[in-house]
Structures are given as structure tokens and as C-alpha cells.
Homo-oligomer: A and B are copies of this chain.
Amino acid sequence: MDIAIPLYADMTALDAIGPYETLNRIPGARILFVGEQPGEIRTDTGMLGLTVDHALEDVPRPDVVIVPGGIGSRRIARDDRWIAWMRDAHDHTTWTTSVCTGAMLLGAAGALDGRRATTHWSTVHVLTEYGATPVGDERVVEDGKVITAAGVSAGIDMALTLAARIAGEDVARAAQLMMEYAPEPPFAGGTPLTTPPSALEQLPGMLVPLEVEFAQEQAGTA
């Protein structure tokens, strides 16, 4: 069971590492970090480097693909090499999945056409560009062999769902115990509807340029 996780410049690290940590101890699972070429990429903050171990073309037909998001997703979703890899991989996967704006690459490769799908709350309507039915109120959306997760941390919940599909619920629950995933956020929140206005006012300082672009597109002002 080969699970390919693409890494690329300006991605969001947790989108990839959450599912990696959830799935890496499934017996027989081999997680392969793929990208443009072997070597380091820097994530969206510039503060973290992750290692690409395999060029895309060296892992053409993984059993599972998990595409993480981040500001760099818009670039790869417009890049012929990434789209060709994704399209061919998707034709042969058992599961094709994404976290956050990683859904854009799935969309660009045609994998979301006619399907229900989700992505980060700030960009969910962009999915219509790819023929998908955007789902804004579900954290993990499963439609056939395609599973899409909402933003960043939702990749952990998605991966637990995927672990159960791949290896059964007992294995998924054991992985959940190993990573002690009994979440207790200190605040209610994590969605626009549950975040107070005083906190929403902090967002502009946190949004990175591409997320602003997405938000403008969504508002029809770009």
C-alpha cells in the first residue's frame, strides 16, 4: 500500500503531516513524499523545510494520494506537470484525497467533476470552477473514491476515516490512541460561525496573499 503525499513550495505543513502521522503506522503502509524533485521545499511561512524524497514521475501509480493545501496550491493547480501526474495517478488510485486547498489540484485534474467536495472555509466556493458541488458544512466529504477535507487540521479527521476504510475501524482507533487524538481545544471555534467578531478582526494580519486572492475571487472583487 503506497500512499503518496505531494510536497511543494508554499504549502501548509500540517495539511500533510496530520494525515502522515495518522496513517504511518497502518501495517503495510508506506508513505512516499513526492514533489518536483528530491530535496527540500519550504512551507508557506518560510520557517520550515520538508524533504521531497521522490520526483512525481518516480511514483506514478500510488494506491492513495493525499494532496495538502496552502498558498502554493494555486500554482501547482495551474502547472501542466502536476496536473498530468495527478490525472494519471487518479485514474489508478484506490483513494484520491485532499486537505484544504489541495482540492484545487484534484479539481484541475478533473477528479472533482460532478462530485461533492470541500476545502478551506475561505475558498470553498472556488470548487465550482472545477465542476464540483461545494460543501461548506461538512469537515470530511466522501464521494466515491474521492475524499476531501476542510482546512488544515481537518486532514487528521479525514485520515482517520481513510484509515478505517483501508484497514478497518480497529486499526484506525489504535492509530488514534497512539497519537492520543482526543482533542480538547481550549476555545470553541475553528469555523467562521463559531469565531467571535473580536477574533475575526485579527485575521487580516494572518492571511497570506493567496488567501486574500481567493477571498477576493469569492467576493467577486478580483
Q: Which A residues have a C-beta under 8 Å from some C-beta of B? A: 12-14, 17-18, 20-21, 24-25, 27, 30-33, 40, 45, 47-51, 53, 100, 120-121, 139-140, 150-154, 156-157, 160-161, 164, 169-187, 189-192, 194-196, 198-203, 205-207
Contact = CB atoms under 8 A, between A and B. Distances in A.
A4 to B, nearest CB: 12
B189 A182 contact: yes
Which 3 residue pairs are nearest across A and B when measured between Cβ atoms?
Answer: A49-B51, A151-B180, A182-B190
B160 A185 contact: yes
A205 B178 CA distance: 11
A184 B174 CA distance: 17
A50 B48 contact: yes
20 contacts: A13-B21, A17-B48, A20-B48, A21-B152, A49-B53, A139-B184, A140-B186, A151-B178, A156-B185, A160-B185, A160-B186, A164-B186, A174-B199, A174-B206, A176-B185, A177-B199, A178-B207, A180-B191, A182-B185, A182-B189
A98 to B, nearest CB: 14
Contact of A181 (B33, B153, B171): B153
A198 B170 contact: yes
